Amino acid sequence: MAVQRTGTVVGEALVAPGLMRFRLMPENGNPFAGYEAGQHIALHREDCKLTRKLGTGQDGKPVYEPECDPWGRQTVGPITCSYSIASSPADTAEHGWLEFLVGCEHGVYGLPGRLNEALFGMVEESSCEVRYHDSISGAFTLAERTDSATSVLLVGTGTGVAPFVSMIRQLHAAADGSDERRYTLIHASRTQPELAYDGDLFEIEGAGRFDFTYVPTVSRPSQSKDLDPRIGQGRASNLVRHIYGLPTGEEEKLTRASNDVARVAASLAVERLVSPILPRHLSAAALRERVDPSATVLLACGNPASVADIKSTAARREIRFEQEEY
Ligand SMILES: Cc1cc2nc3c(=O)[nH]c(=O)nc-3n(C[C@H](O)[C@H](O)[C@H](O)COP(=O)(O)OP(=O)(O)OC[C@H]3O[C@@H](n4cnc5c(N)ncnc54)[C@H](O)[C@@H]3O)c2cc1C
């Protein structure tokens, strides 16, 4: 069984409502195990508000409700989940900590995630301790997933950017001019603050220590006043479609709608669509050449629906595809 240790949160920043970056120091005298960029670790808290399955919703998905004791108080207990590491091995070697990007979403039925709510509730007065498994695992690494590809396209949605931030930071730290690969990172979030790492990633791109193009995009541009022209618009899946010369998923659904109900739903989706627009300094043609299907491996991580759409684009363009199971 994995040994559990107790770490302490040292740097915690709310980058946007419901989105937090934090750093975890290891238990005294026990540095974190060595790891590769793209791997994950299991985190654990004992003070999670527990839920229980109530039934199944109309969409076929399970519905949960708070689990309460006989006095009506929500029961509290242990939950363990995996989290991708956003720091690079070089960061950890220098500073000792691991960094994480964690989102606290309230699901369809209004319940926050059990562990994420506990992580968001950490305050010094109670406890900033997080238990962790003393082993770091996962095969979502450049060494395991990219073989001889000369171009690597990384696509992250929301917190799914974390493993890619680790990879890009490590490539930057270790760059010695010998890596001839092209690395392109598309990261989509709802708003600009939720990009969370845009400052760091623009800096790494600007330093030019390896061949890296950063393509941030927001799916709710109307919520960002004076959107930075270096940031694109639209969802990651539609940006990938745009680069590879395909219509958006919404437009395609409308074209394929086979009855009136499907046509009305698809028309509404097209009306609400935020069309994909690349950052002002990038063209679809130049990016298409950069991520040429025959030379590229596409790695995706994040929202399952988005990742499924990106996978179908990869299949249509015969691009080798790899994903992290979130
Ligand atoms: C390899 C990997 C890497 C990951 N990296 C990250 C990361 O970097 N950042 C990040 O934020 N997340 C990451 N995740 C997701 C993370 O592990 C958690 O699943 C997520 O944070 C939600 O955990 P939670 O306990 O807060 O939510 P849960 O309480 O499990 O709730 C999440 C959803 O599950 C359902 N649910 C509610 N109660 C229950 C129940 N009793 N049993 C089962 N399901 C329930 C609800 O639909 C809810 O919306 C990663 C997952 C994997 C596998």
- Of 75, 51, 53, 49, nearest in space to 63 by CA: 53
Note the pLDDT tens digit of each residue in 139-190. 999 999 999 899 999 999 999 999 999 999 999 999 999 999 999 999 999 9
Nearest CA to ligand 1 atom 34: 113
Alpha-carbon span 19 to 13, nearest angstrom: 9
**What percent of the chain has pLDDT above 70?**
97
How many of the other CB atoms lie within 10 Å of CB of 176?
7
- Cα(113) to ligand 1 centroid in Å equals 6
Q: What is the mean pLDDT of the chain?
A: 94
Mean predicted confidence (pLDDT) in 299-319: 97
Q: Please identify, by atom number, the ligand 1 atom nearest to the C-alpha of residue 108.
A: 49
- Cα(81) to ligand 1 centroid in Å equals 7
CATH number belonging to domain 4-133? 2.40.30.10
- Cα(284) to ligand 1 centroid in Å equals 35
Mean predicted confidence (pLDDT) in 12-32: 93
Torsions phi, psi of 218, nearest 5?
-120, 140
Q: What's the confidence (pLDDT) of residue 207?
A: 98
Structure tokens at 139: 């095969």
Note the pLDDT tens digit of each residue in 90-131. 999 999 999 999 998 777 677 889 999 999 887 655 668 999
- Of 217, 224, 254, 255, nearest in space to 239 by CA: 217
- Of 255, 239, 187, 173, nearest in space to 215 by CA: 187
- Of 34, 31, 40, nearest in space to 96 by CA: 31
The best mutation among 82, 122, 140, 145 to test binding of ligand 1, ranked by most ligand atoms within 8 Å of the C-beta, falls on: 82
- Cα(128) to ligand 1 centroid in Å equals 20
**Residue ranges per domain, the chain?**
4-133, 142-323
Query: Residue 267: CB partners within 8 Å, gap ≥ 6?
Result: 254
Note the pLDDT tens digit of each residue in 267-307. 999 999 999 999 999 999 999 999 999 999 999 999 999 99
The best mutation among 83, 98, 159, 322 to test binding of ligand 1, ranked by most ligand atoms within 8 Å of the C-beta, falls on: 83
Alpha-carbon span 8 to 26, nearest angstrom: 7
Nearest CA to ligand 1 atom 28: 113
Nearest CA to ligand 1 atom 11: 102
CATH number belonging to domain 142-323? 3.40.50.80
- Cα(100) to ligand 1 centroid in Å equals 14
- Of 267, 279, 268, nearest in space to 242 by CA: 279
